[in-house]
Amino acid sequence: MSKIDLSLSNLDVLFPDNFSQEQIAKGKTLFLKELAFSTHKFYGGKIATMPKAGVYGFNWFNVWYTPGVSKVSTTIRDNHETSYDLSNRGNLVAVVSDSTRVLGDGDCSPSGGLGVMEGKAFLMKYLAGVDGVALCIDSYNDKGEHDPDKIIDFVKMVQPSFGAINLEDISQPNCYKVLDTLREEADIPVWHDDAQGTGSVTLAGLINALKIAGKDMNNVKIVFYGAGASNTTIARLIIKAGADPEKMILFDSKSSLHTGREDIKSDARFYRKWELCEKTNPKGITDMDTAMKGADVLIALSKPGPDVIKPEWINVMADKSIVFVCANPVPEIYPYAAKEAGAYIVATGRGDFPNQVNNSLGFPGILKGSLLARAKKVTDEMAIAASYSVAKFAEKKGLSPDYIMPTMDETEVFAHEAADVAMEAVKNGVARLKVDWQGVYDKTLADIDEARSSMKLLMDQGFIKEPPNDMLEAALNTAINSVK
């Protein structure tokens, strides 16, 4: 076997020529999982804490710590706002999770979420120059139940140390109460990335997909497969952006959402789902076969595939149909199969397929803009502003059925997004600072450049070591042998 390109720029070419599209798709997933495991073990995780101030002589320890730091402490005591200027608080985000809904793997125990939460912190730093800390917590109460109030109390206790909170991988219905309570009661932005982040980025992709297909937001029929935190928030943001809720149908694991769902109405914890029961699906359609006939858009965020969405459902959709299958780590149907079934535009949550609709395009820029404006919260209007910012950035590059979204290596999209979000925070009256668009844009780009230059320096100097090629080969061989 020839040496594997460490950039992993094209995974398809790693597999034998006689492999089918299905084998390659499955093989890529297995390869990435195997490589993730071995490299995480090799590095011992992927996040470390580094000072950003220098030590120029022995007495600098007395500047950074006692006695010198006493003036910093008393200044912040007398004016809490100065904590943003005298500490790293203004660029620091806590990634908080009880790990009860980790990607497609379900409840992984509190520490089981560390790989994902460190991943969020990694992306924040590299994509937007934001510092993140993974905080996986135990949300069990004395009855052995996951208690949303424990998460709420925890966030309130740690918020003096952070500029914002990124909630992640909290199962429903607890996620609804946690977010809605903290958005109103916390003093800093509290953002649920599985809900608002996924909602914002999905709306961005939909805006551009509809442009390519020549369809209007207010006229399209949309079917949602899955009605968890992600899809319910996506639906809510799409409605705010102009879609007609009466032309929308959502399905959960039991049936569709409609006013006859007494099981949802009777459980007050699912109030967000009940709101959609009242707004959508007025005809009370309860089966996917009927719902999909003539549908313009399918948005699936349910469970890992690839056989969750049936090709025959896609086959009966309207002309130039749009299919978002965003379950991780495996989409509900592979893109090639969706295209064979008649889909015009297909998006997934993965970067190794065209049209990645993933919240990694949202939360770094949204949080950066919120931090630079010192926002008190992230409003729905700020999330929607981010959607249009991302969509317009891609449109300037030139849209096509295989390019509806920017990719994560298009650096400027995060600076544009941060600036647009900050301006919306000012407009919404939730910004503590009066900032200007260009200033936020320039500061974001500068911080991104500093983060990436620092990482490159560590890589060039060997402090971040390259994973050995035999590690990549072992992961690839495991994947190939598993799907032969």
Cα 302 to chain center, whole Å? 15
Lowest pLDDT segment from 37-46, 151-160, 348-357: 348-357
* The residue to which tokens 């295989």 are assigned: 402
Asked if 109 and 143 sit in the same domain, the reply is yes
Amino acid at 365: G
**Cβ-based neighbour number of residue 266 at 10 Å:** 9
At residue 194, the pLDDT reads 86
Average pLDDT value for residue range 195-205: 95
Closest CA to 166 of 157, 178, 153: 178
**Measured between alpha carbons, how far is residue 163 from residues 97, 160, 323 in Å?**
17, 8, 36
Tell me the per-residue pLDDT of 401-418, one tens digit each, with 9 for 90 and over. 999 999 999 999 999 999
The CATH number that applies at residue 147 is: 3.40.50.10380
Model-wide pTM > 0.75: yes
Among 294, 329, 348, which residue terminates a domain? 348
**Do 181 and 256 have their domain in common?**
no
In this model, does residue 160 exceed pLDDT 70? yes
- The span from the CA of 467 to the CA of 38, in Å, is 9
Q: Using the predicted structure, report yes or no on whether residue 104 has a pLDDT greater than 80.
A: no
Total domains in the fold of the chain:
2
For residues 229 and 179, membership in a common domain is answered with: no
> Has residue 443 been placed in a domain?
no
Residue 336 C-beta-side C-alpha neighbours within 13 Å: 8
Burial class (CB in 10 A: 0-12, 13-18, 19+), 464: middle
pLDDT at position 53, please?
A: 96
Q: What is the pLDDT of residue 329?
A: 84
203 and 323, same domain (yes or no): yes
Same structural domain for residues 243 and 148? no
Residue 32 domain-assigned?
A: no
Give catalytic residues, as residue numbers.
65, 120
124 has a pLDDT exceeding 80: yes
Supply the range of the domain harboring residue 158: 60-188
pLDDT mean over 143-151: 96
Same domain, 202 and 342: yes
Average pLDDT score over residue span 300-326: 96
Tokens of 331: 């989409």
Beta-bridge mates of residue 131: 92
Predicted local confidence at residue 1, as pLDDT:
60
How far apart are alpha carbons 88 and 164 in whole angstroms?
A: 12
One domain, residues 175 and 266: no
Residue 431 has pLDDT above 80, yes or no: yes
Choosing from 348, 375, 404, the residue where a domain stops is 348
State whether 219 and 132 are in the same domain. Answer: no
Percent of the chain with pLDDT over 90: 95
- Residue 2: is its pLDDT beyond 80? no
What is the CATH classification number for the domain harbouring 299? Answer: 3.40.50.720
In a domain, 93, yes or no: yes
The last residue of one of the domains, among 315, 331, 348, is 348
* Sheet of strand 131-136, all strands in order from the earlier edge strand to the far edge: 131-136, 92-97, 164-167, 190-192
Q: Do 73 and 183 belong to one domain?
A: yes
433-473 residue pLDDT tens? 999 999 999 999 999 999 999 999 999 999 999 999 999 99
Q: Domain check: are 105 and 232 in the same one? A: no
Measured distance CA(475)–CA(38) in Å, rounded: 8
In a domain, 229, yes or no: yes
Question: In the predicted model, what is the mean pLDDT of the chain?
Answer: 96
pLDDT digits (tens, 9 = 90+) for 246-255: 999 999 999 9
